[in-house]
Chains A and B, each alone.
Chain A
C-alpha cells in the first residue's frame, strides 16, 4: 500500500499584505489568470512522476485561495482530478480570509468537493485587526462563518494570533471567547513571529515595535491552551487544537508525521522519497519557467539518514501524541533509544520528555521549550 500523502496548492495572492506575514503572496491581482495557466502547466509536468501516488489530502493555501474565481478554481480542481489519484474520501481544505467569502462562493466550494474551510481571523478586536494590517471587519467574520455553515461546511478552522505587541490579557480572552462562541471544529493559535522581510520586522529593528518577552509569550500561550481545553478542544500539536479526533487537520499531520507531499505553485515545498525541494518564491519566475516548459525549482536537497531521523524526531515531538519509536525502527532500521541514548537521558533528567508506551512525548514542561528539546537530538 501506498503511504499517506498530501497535495498542496499555493495561491500567491492577497488583497493586501498583512504586516507580519512572510508567506509568499502579492497584491497584483491582475496576474491571477496567468498564474492559473502556469499552475495547470505545472500540474501536467508533475503528473507522470506521481502517477502511482494516492493523495489523501488536498490543501489550497496561500495567500488567499478564496480570491480565485469560481471558474478558475474549477479548472484547477479538474486538472488535479485528471492528473493525480485523489482519494475520494479524503480531506479537501481551502484557506480563506473573511471579506472574500459569499454564500454563493461557499456553496460552490462545497460543490467542488471541499470539505474543510480555514479562516484567517486573528482577532475579534477591530483596533487589533487594523494593527495587524488585516482587511476584514469583525462582523464579516461572523457573517462568513454563518454562511460557511449554511453552505454545509462541518469542519471549519479559525486562525487566531497571540502574543503580539499591544495585546492585553483581557482583549485576548475576549477574542478567544468570541471564537469559541462560533464553535468551530478546529482552532489554530499562533504566537507572532517577527520574520525578516516583513513590515513588522522593520518596525522592530527601528524600535517602533517591541516583541513581548519570553515570559509574556508563555503566559498568552498557557492562557490559550487553558481556555481551549476548558471548551473541549484538545491540543494535538504545539499550535493546533481540535474538537475530537475526527477533526484533526489531516493535511498538516502529513508534515508532522514526516509523510510525502507535493507542493504546487510559487514557493511551495515538497517532500518525496528522501528529497525536499521548493519552487521559486517569485510569481514572475514561476510563470516564465513554466512557459518554457521547465519546473520552477528553487532548491532540491537529498536528506542524509541522519537528517531524516532528526526531522522525524523534532516533527514527531511537536505532536501531543509524541513520536512513535516503533515506526522509527521500521523506517530507519534503528532503535530510537539506542541512537539517542544520552539525549533522552538528559531530557528525562530535566523532566522535559515522558514515555507513553512506545511513544516519546514532551512533558507539560517540555511543551513550551520544544525547540530546546529538539536541540538535544
Chain B
C-alpha cells in the first residue's frame, strides 16, 4: 500500500451529535463490516458505553476501501468522545491524524464542544471537513447551522456536507471528501523510527497494547525498541491493525496506525504520549507528545474491606493503562483505613472510573466526596497544595486559602441568557464578556470557581436552558476565597472522609443539608446515631437516627424457606457493602452523596 492512499482522520463533535453512528456507516460503506455484523455504535465496545449510549474512550479502526475509480485506500479512523471530561481523549487522537470530520447536529446547532474540539483540531493543523448531521430530523435547521459553521470556521457554504448518519444519506460524499481533501501522511520512511503512542489498552493475557502512529521510519516484529521518555527497551512481539479486533500484520510503515505488543506489563514502562524508536538506530528527538493533563477533581477511593487494599492497587494500575488521565496515590483515612487519592477530569470521569473498578475489576469500593485542589499559603509564606480536605493546615498556621478558577464559555440561544446569568451569579461567577457566533448563538464568557461548577452547575445549566446551553472550560488560575473546612461527626467522632471545604457564607446551609442527607442514608442501627456538622469545634447542625425497633418478617412462608433465605442473603450482601465506623455501619453511597444537591 502506497502512503499516498492512506488517510488518517478522526471524527469530532459535541456530545451526541452522532460521531459513533457516522462511524457505523463508514464501516458499513467500506465493507469493513457486513450489515448482519452491525449493531448501533459498534465502536462503543465497553459495556458502560453501550449502556449509557455515550463514547467514553477514543476508538481507532482501520478500513480498506475500494474507490469507484479502482484505487484502493486505507482509512484509519478514530471515533472520539464528545463529553467535556474526555476532551483529553480527543486531543490525543488528533495527533495521530491529518484531518477531522467536524460533526454538528442539525437540530442542536453549534455547541460548546463543537467549538473547543474545532479549535484543538485547528491547533493541530488538521484539515477540517464540516458535516451537518441528522438532517432527517423534523427539527433540523440545516440553513441556520450552515451559517453558524461558516462564521465559526470561516469556510464557504459549499465546503459543508449534509448527512444523516442514521439513514445513510451523504455517506458517499463524505468518503469522497475524505479522499480529496485530507492529505496523505507525510514522513520519511528511511529516517529513524518515530512512532507516537496515542493510546493504550490492557489485555490480561498480552499485557499493554499500545496504539501507535508511525511518523517516520518503519517497525517490524522482533525489532528492539526504546520508549524515549520512560527509557525502557523491549522486543516487539506483535504488530498489526485494529479492525474492531486485532489483525496481525507483522509490520507498520510510515504513516500507518496500528497496535504494538511488546510484553510490557505496567504503566511505568509505557506512557501515552511517549515516542517509540529503534534501540539500534534511535531518533534524535522524541515527537512533541502531549501536555500532561491535570485532574480537575480529587476523591478518595477505599476498599470496603481493608484487606482488599493490594487488590485495589493492582486494579488501579491496570485501569490506568486503559485510562491514562486517571491519577492515583496511596493515602490513609482514620475512618476508612488505607486507600487512594484519585484525580479525575470531571464528575463523569469519576463515575466511570468507579463503575469500571466495580464491574471490570470486581472491586467493592467506597468513593468519598470529591473536591478540587486548594492552594494554601501558610503564615510562614510556604505554599501547599491540598487535594484532601483533611489535610487542610490548621487555622493557626494558615494565612489564606486560594481556590481554582476556570475560564468558561457557555454557548446558548439568547433567550436563556437571563437564566444563565442568574445561575452563574449564584455560583459566584464573574461575567467577562458576551459575544455572538451568529444571532442564534450567544457565547457567555465567565470566570467561575471550579468547585461550584464541578458539582451541579452543569445539570442546572441544562435545566435552566431546557437543554440548549452547553459548557466548555479550562483551568484559569488560583484566587483567594473565603473558605472553611466543615467536619462531620458520627456519635461524636470526626469521620474524616466526609470533611468538605465550603464557602463561609454557605457553611450553615451545607452543614444542615449534609446532616439531613446522612440521616436518610444511614440505616437505623441497634443504638441511636447522632450526626453533627461542625467548623473547628463549633457544632452548626445536628440530626439523629433512632435505634432500630423492628426487623423481622412475621411468617416464614410456610415451607418456602428458600425465599426467606434469599431475602436474608440479600440483606447480608447489603451489610457487606457497608463500612464499619466504630459501631456504626455506613453505606457506600453516604460517602459520595453529601455534596449532591438534588432533592
Residues of A at the B interface (CB closer than 8 Å) are: 8, 23, 61, 189-191, 193, 214-215, 217-218, 221, 238-239, 255-256, 261, 263, 268-271, 276, 278, 299, 301, 307, 310-311, 314-315, 318, 349-350, 352, 365, 367-372, 374-375
The answer to whether A214 and B572 touch (CB under 8 A), given A255-B561, A310-B565, is no
Question: Is B568 touching A374 in the complex (CB atoms < 8 A)?
Answer: yes
| B558 at the A interface (CB under 8 A) | yes
Point out the residues of chain B lying under 8 angstroms from A218, CB to CB.
549-550
| Separation of A370 and B564 alpha carbons in the complex (Å) | 12
Most buried by A among B527, B554, B555, B556: B554
A238-B554, A369-B550 given; A307·B565 CB < 8 A:
yes
Contact across chains for A271 and B553 when beta carbons are under 8 A apart: no
B567 nearest CB neighbor, chain A only = A371
Docked pose: A263 CA to B561 CA in angstroms: 13
| B576: nearest chain-A partner, CB-CB | A375
How far is A271 from B524 in the complex, measured between Cα atoms in Å?
Answer: 35
Q: Indicate if B191 sits at the interface (CB-CB under 8 A).
A: no
Q: Is B562 on the interface with A (CB-CB < 8 A)?
A: yes
- The residue in chain B whose Cβ has the minimal distance to the Cβ of A61 is B558
Annotate B563-597 by CB proximity to A: 1 below 8 A, 0 otherwise.
01101110110010000000100000000000000
A372 CB contact (under 8 Å) in B548, B564, B565, B583: B548
Q: Which residues of B contact A369 (CB under 8 A)?
A: 526, 548-552
B549 A368 Cβ-Cβ under 8 A: yes
**B551 proximity list for chain A (CB < 8 A):** 214, 368-372
Asked if A256 contacts B556 (CB within 8 A), the reply is yes
- Judge whether B556 and A276 touch: CB under 8 Å: no
A352 near B559 (CB under 8 angstroms)?
no
Instruction: Specify the chain A residue showing the minimal Cβ separation from B527.
Output: A350
Tell me whether A191 and B554 are in contact (CB under 8 A): yes
Binary per-residue interface labels of chain B (505-536) against chain A in the complex, 1 for a CB within 8 Å, 0 otherwise:
00000000000000000001011000000000
**What would 30 A/B residue contacts be, using CB atoms closer than 8 Å?**
A23-B558, A190-B554, A190-B555, A193-B555, A215-B550, A218-B550, A239-B554, A255-B558, A256-B556, A269-B561, A278-B562, A299-B562, A310-B568, A310-B569, A314-B565, A315-B556, A315-B561, A349-B583, A350-B526, A368-B550, A368-B551, A369-B552, A370-B551, A370-B552, A371-B553, A371-B568, A372-B548, A372-B551, A372-B571, A374-B571
Alpha-carbon distance A369/B525, docked complex (angstroms): 10
Q: Distance (Å) between the CB of B345 and the closest chain A CB?
A: 39
Asked if A193 and B554 sit within 8 Å, CB to CB, the answer is yes
The answer to whether B560 touches A368 (Cβ under 8 A) is no
A375 and B571 contact, Cβ closer than 8 Å, known pairs A214-B549, A261-B559: yes
Q: Which residue of B lies closest to A238 (CB)?
A: B552
CA distance A175 to B571 in the complex (A): 34
Chain A residues near B527 (CB-CB < 8 A): 350
Decide: A255 and B550 in contact? CB cutoff 8 A.
no
Q: How far is the CB of A202 from chain B (nearest CB, A)?
A: 20
Cα A369 to Cα B553 with chains together (Å): 9
CB distance from A39 to the nearest CB of B (A): 16
Instruction: Report the bound CA distance from A221 to B549 in whole Å.
Output: 11
A60 to B111, CA, bound (A): 71
**Contact call B550/A8, Cβ cutoff below 8 A:** no
Shortest distance from the beta carbon of A123 to any chain B beta carbon, whole Å: 15
Most buried by B among A261, A269, A301: A269
Q: Are A375 and B550 in contact (CB under 8 A)?
A: no
Complex CA distance for A323 and B190, rounded to whole angstroms: 82
Top 7 A-B pairs ranked by shortest CB distance?
A269-B559, A370-B552, A218-B550, A191-B554, A218-B549, A190-B554, A350-B526
A189-B524 Cα distance, complex, nearest whole Å: 25
The docked-state distance in angstroms from the alpha carbon of A310 to that of B568 is: 10
Q: Which residues of B contact A349 (CB under 8 A)?
A: 583
Residues of B within 8 A of A (CB): 524, 526-527, 548-556, 558-562, 564-565, 567-569, 571-572, 575, 583
Known: A370-B551, A375-B575. 14 other contacts (CB 8 A): A189-B554, A190-B555, A193-B554, A238-B554, A239-B554, A255-B556, A270-B559, A278-B560, A301-B562, A310-B568, A371-B551, A371-B553, A375-B568, A375-B572
CB contacts between A and B, total, < 8 Å: 97
- Other-chain residue from A193, A270, A307 in contact with B553 (beta carbon distance below 8 A): A193
Chain B residue numbers with a CB within 8 Å of A311 are: 561, 565
Known: A193-B555, A368-B549, A372-B548. A271 touches B561 (CB 8 A): yes
| Complex: chain B residue closest to A370, CB-CB | B552
In the docked arrangement, what's the CA distance between A218 and B554, Å? 11
Q: How far is the CB of A310 from chain B (nearest CB, A)?
A: 7
Q: Do A215 and B549 touch across chains, with their CB atoms under 8 A apart?
A: yes
Residues of B within 8 A of A372 (CB): 526, 548, 551-552, 571
A61 to B558, CA, bound (A): 9
B555 near A268 with CB under 8 A, answer no
Q: Which of A190, A221, A314 contacts B550 (CB 8 A)?
A: A221
**Chain B residues closer than 8 Å to A256, beta-carbon distance:** 556
Which residues of B sit under 8 angstroms from A191, Cβ to Cβ? 554
Chain A positions within 8 Å of B549 at CB level: 214-215, 217-218, 368-369
Query: Does B562 contact A276, Cβ atoms closer than 8 Å?
Result: yes
Least Cβ distance of A183 to chain B in Å?
Answer: 23
Would you call B565 and A268 a contact (CB within 8 A)?
no
Which residues of A lie under 8 Å from residue B564 when comparing CB positions? 314
B544 CB to closest chain A CB, in angstroms? Answer: 15
Which of B526, B569, B571 has the most C-beta atoms of chain A within 10 angstroms of its own C-beta? B526
Q: CB-nearest residue of chain A relative to B556?
A: A255
The reply to whether A276 and B526 contact each other, CB–CB distance below 8 Å, is no
**Smallest CB separation, B548 vs chain A (Å):** 6
Closest to A314 in B: B568
Minimum C-beta distance from B587 to chain A (A):
14
Q: Which of A190, A193, A374 gathers most chain B CB within 10 Å?
A: A374
Q: Who on chain B is nearest to A263 by CB?
A: B559
* Chain B residues closer than 8 Å to A239, beta-carbon distance: 554-555
Specify the chain A residue showing the minimal Cβ separation from B526: A350
Distance from B224 Cβ to chain A, minimum over Cβ atoms (Å): 53
Which of A190, A311, A315, A369 gathers the greatest number of chain B CB atoms within 10 Å?
A369
Q: How far is the CB of A194 from chain B (nearest CB, A)?
A: 11
Complex interface: chain A residues within 8 A of B553 (CB)? 193, 371
Distance in angstroms from A282 CB to nearest chain B CB is 16
The residues of A that contact B556 with a CB separation of less than 8 Å are: 255-256, 315, 318
CB-CB under 8 A from A214, the residues of chain B are: 524, 548-551
CB < 8 Å neighbour of A352 from B526, B560, B567: B526
Instruction: Please give, as numbers and ranges, the residues of chain A lying within 8 Å of B571 by CB-CB distance.
Output: 371-372, 374-375
Query: Which residues of the other chain, A, contact B565 by a CB distance below 8 angstroms?
Result: 307, 310-311, 314
B100 → A minimal CB distance (Å): 51
Nearest CB on B from A269, distance (A): 4
User: When chains A and B are docked, how far (Å) is the Cα of A23 from the Cα of B561?
Assistant: 14
In the complex, A349 Cα to B525 Cα: how many Å? 13
> A371–B556 Cα gap in the complex (Å)?
11
Chain A, residue nearest B575 (CB): A375
- Residues of chain A contacted by B560 (CB below 8 angstroms): 269, 278
Asked whether, in the complex, the Cβ of A276 is within 8 Å of the Cβ of B561, the reply is yes
- Which residues of chain A are within 8 angstroms of B583 by Cβ–Cβ distance? 349-350
Asked if B568 and A255 make an inter-chain contact with CB atoms under 8 angstroms apart, the answer reads no
Q: B552 to chain A: which residues have CB within 8 Å?
A: 238, 367-372
A367, B554: Cα distance in complex, Å: 11
Q: Is the CB of A8 within 8 A of B548?
A: no
Cross-chain contact B559 with A271 (CB below 8 angstroms) = yes
Give Cα distance in the complex from A49 to B555, angstroms.
Answer: 30
Q: How far is the CB of B554 from chain A (nearest CB, A)?
A: 4
Residues of A within 8 A of B558 (CB): 8, 23, 61, 255, 269
Chain B residues whose C-beta falls within 8 Å of the C-beta of A370 in the assembled complex: 551-552
B573 nearest in chain A by CB position:
A375
Across the interface, name the chain A residue whose C-beta is closest to B571: A375
Bound-state CA distance A299–B571 (Å) is 22
B270 to chain A, nearest CB (A): 43
By beta carbon, the residue of chain A nearest B560 is A269
Q: Which residues of B contact A255 (CB under 8 A)?
A: 556, 558-559, 561
CA distance A315 to B564 in the complex (A): 10
In the complex, A352 Cα to B551 Cα: how many Å?
13
